[in-house]
Chain A
Amino acid sequence: MFDLSIVFSSVLNGLTMGAVYTLIALGLTLIYGVLHIINFAHGAALMVALYGVYFLKVKLGIDPYLALPVVVPSMFVVGYFLQKVIINHASHGKDENILLVTLGISIVLENLALLLFNSDTRNIETSYTLSTVAVGPAMIAIPKLLSCLGALVVSLMLIVFMRTTDLGRAIRAVAKEKAGARLMGIDVEHVYAMCFGIGLSCLGAAACFLLPAFYVNPTVGNGFVLVAFTIVVLGGMGSFLGACVGGLLIGVIESVGGLFLGDSLGQVGIFVIFILVLLVRPQGLFGLKA
């Protein structure tokens, strides 16, 4: 039987990974909650951000954590214009069309990366990559601990932003009642694009926290897409609290499942949860309506 301390460190490991998942899922759930579209290009956008962080480190020697103020705003700009220039013009009144366009965007981004950077898996070397601290009986890598803290801070910032600022109020208004918000003088297209931008800047932050303990290749986003969808569906589409709880939960399930079943079957566990939640409780744990 497994030693309890192994299980404990596996849970801890899952929580840190889950924190990054949460960051990724927050962007997705924000976009879904407001625009009512499923951003299929989320994984590909994360891949772009990871490459950004990677090249900042390799070419300019900028530490991934110091790259935050560069990567987050650039991802915001990318998101803003993706929504404004492409996605906004493709809906023609049907949500499925947007799904197809974001699928197209993800195909293009992924294969452009393959064209430009080939399929090599790359990672970065930092002085702290391998340093660890002891938490109880387990050892935990410092980058993972930092990513956990970072995810917490970003989630809090996002929640405070949505509750206190004018833009946050406008976003919530548009999410609830688009036509009414427009009548109140809110520029709905602008709010949509801002949302998309904020969603992608969450990815920028996730990329900065992820890369020191992770790697990047053109298809790295694929692994995250379905996980992020699982979290969002599990937590309830559009629910921030759900994304946080779901992210941590999925991280732990993946880690503990991998411990007992082996890595590849642990992944199956996530997809099975995804399918079951979609079938049995599509509104998720914290969602209000079906």
Chain B
Amino acid sequence: MKDLRAIAIFAGLMASVPLFVHSGVVLNLCMMALFATLLSQSWNILGGFGGQFSFGHALFFGMGAYTQGVFQIQFGLNPWLCLVLAMGSSAMLGLLVGGLSFRYGLKGSYFALITLAFAEVFRILALSANFTGAGVGLMLPLSESVGNMQFSSRVGFIWLMLFWVVCALLITAWLRRSRLGAYLQAVRDNEDAAQALGVDPFQVKWLACGLSAALMGVAGAFYLQVFQYIDPALAFGPHTSISALVGAIVGGMGTLWGPVLGAFALEILSELTRNLFGELPGINMVIYGSLLILIMVFLPRGFAGIRWQGLQRDVKRTPSSGSIGVSASVKGLEERLQVGDALTSGAESQPKSDRSKVQT
């Protein structure tokens, strides 16, 4: 319930921004931040909750963008219908790639590498095929109307993107509560143990991959609608994969609000650097990369883990804290903080009762 209330507040706030602010810069920033949030949140489903780090998430992004473009331009379908197709095709691709990789037991670094290789294969295929416009890319003809999903101002795009971000947040919130989410986190924390307890690791990772890919496909379709242009490097290049994973990691993997925090922080940061240094090529990515290194060295749990680190000592005494704790969001942490306090203050003599309390 708390999660739902927080999501509703977030949605209300973001939806009302265009009503009060009319500055194009701010609206653009809002839109791009929401876009980055969707990227990070979808990476987070597989990477944060499932522990499967994909380095080639642009694969699904590009698939979505190209589905949206090809069906619109070559077959003249309505963009809203294309959006559904884009989501579906990305999900299918996610299930295919995830199915192959997980069926053959790839994990950790190997999974990261194979997603990257798939993204490269698709980039080269898009470069060589004709119906994707090859190296020239696809240009969407300009015709502004709601039916064409081309809005005259950023406001329409913001609301559309917000809808999908809220969907992603609801899915994430559901993952934290649901059986599938619990299985997924169990597999992330210890696959063998989870399997011994009757969880099918293949199935949960596979589903998470499909879910994550579907959201990524929506982001790709959205990208095409906003910028009306896509080419193989934009679609399948490393840039999208990197911003998706850096946002989620900087904010905090496996949390509900971490990716939102990370994506907004990175977007604002890159806007600031653009104002400070102008359009220097590469400066954004230098900052992204440095942040990634700094976060990995000093705060491996991301911004959302900052408060958690201070608590670590207290909660570590409880046997099950490792698996629950890592996935806890800031909100969840507060609840656990009380448990931790109870442990340290009054519970020196009765570890057994405390243990049961924590596990419930």
**Interface set of A (CB-CB < 8 Å, partner B):** 37-38, 40, 86, 89-90, 92, 95-97, 99-101, 103-108, 110-115, 118-119, 218, 222, 226, 229, 233, 262, 264-265, 267-268, 271-272, 274-275, 278-280, 282
8 pairs, CB–CB < 8 Å, chain A vs chain B: A90-B293, A99-B112, A108-B293, A111-B282, A226-B120, A271-B120, A271-B124, A279-B101
Query: CB distance B286 to A112 under 8 Å?
Result: yes
Chain B residues with Cβ under 8 A from A115's Cβ? 280-283, 286
Residues of A within 8 A of B128 (CB): 262, 264-265
Closest Cβ of chain B to A104, distance in Å, is: 4
Beyond A40-B55, A104-B296, A107-B288, 11 additional contacts (C-beta under 8 Å) are A86-B297, A96-B51, A99-B112, A104-B291, A226-B116, A272-B121, A274-B114, A275-B114, A275-B118, A278-B106, A280-B104
Distance, CA A90 to CA B286, complexed state (A): 18
- Bound-complex Cα distance A158 to B120 (A): 32
Cβ of B242 < 8 Å from any Cβ of A? Answer: yes
Q: Which residues from A are CB-within-8-Å of B242?
A: 103, 107
Question: Which residues from chain B contact A97 at a C-beta distance below 8 Å?
Answer: 296, 300
Chain A min CB distance to B228 (Å) = 24
CB-defined contacts of B280 to chain A, threshold 8 Å: 115
Q: Using Cβ atoms and an 8 Å threshold, which residues of chain A touch B101?
A: 279
Task: For chain B, residues 204 to 245, give those with C-beta under 8 angstroms from any C-beta of chain A.
Answer: 238, 242, 245
Residues of B in contact with A, size category:
35 or more
B121 contacts which chain A residues (CB < 8 A)? 268, 271-272, 275
Question: Which 5 pairs from chain A and chain B are nearest by CB?
Answer: A107-B289, A111-B282, A114-B282, A104-B292, A108-B289
Closest B residue to A44 by beta carbon equals: B289
The reply to whether B281 and A100 contact each other, CB–CB distance below 8 Å, is no
Asked if B269 is an interface residue, CB under 8 A from chain A, the answer is no
In the assembled complex, the CB of A107 is this many whole angstroms from the nearest CB of chain B, namely 3
Min CB–CB distance B109 → chain A (angstroms): 4
CB distance from A193 to the nearest CB of B (A): 16
A274–B282 Cα distance when bound, in Å, is: 29
What mask results when residues 97 to 112 of chain B are scored 1 for a CB within 8 Å of chain A, else 0?
A: 0001100111011101
Closest residue on chain A to residue B107 by CB atoms: A96
A197 to B257, CA, bound (A): 39
Inter-chain contact B113/A38, CB cutoff 8 Å: yes
CB contact list, B174-214 vs A, under 8 A: none
| Interface contact A101-B286, CB-CB below 8 Å | no
With A and B bound together, what is the CA distance between A86 and B296 in angstroms? 10
Q: Which B residues are CB-close (under 8 A) to A272?
A: 121
Residues of B with C-beta under 8 A to A37: 109
Please measure, in the bound complex, the distance between the C-alpha atom of A99 and the C-alpha atom of B283, giving whole angstroms: 22
A99 near B109 with CB under 8 A, answer yes
What's the minimum C-beta distance from A226 to chain B, rounded to whole angstroms?
Answer: 6
Contact partner of A271 (CB less than 8 A), chosen from B108, B117, B282, is B117
A280 and B280 alpha carbons, distance in the complex (Å): 44
Chain A neighbourhood of B296, CB < 8 A: 90, 97, 100-101, 104
Closest Cβ of chain B to A125, distance in Å, is: 26
Q: Look across to chain B and name the residue whose beta carbon is closest to the beta carbon of A275.
A: B117
| A58–B46 CA distance with the chains assembled, in angstroms | 47
B100 touches A229 (CB 8 A): no
Chain B residues whose CB sits within 8 angstroms of the CB of A278 once the complex forms: 104, 106, 110, 113-114, 117
- Interface contact B293-A101, CB-CB below 8 Å: yes
| Nearest B residue (CB) for A265 | B128
* Residue on A nearest B47 in the bound complex, by CB: A96
Q: Would B281 and A89 count as touching, CB distance under 8 A?
A: no
Is B320 engaged at the interface, CB distance under 8 Å to the other chain? Answer: no
* Interface presence of B125 (CB below 8 A): yes
Whether B167 is near chain A, meaning CB under 8 Å from some CB there, is: no
In angstroms, Cα B117 to Cα A194, docked, is 30
Q: Please measure, in the bound complex, the distance between the C-alpha atom of A55 and the C-alpha atom of B273, giving whole angstroms.
A: 29
Which of B106, B108, B114 has a CB less than 8 Å from the CB of A96?
Answer: B108
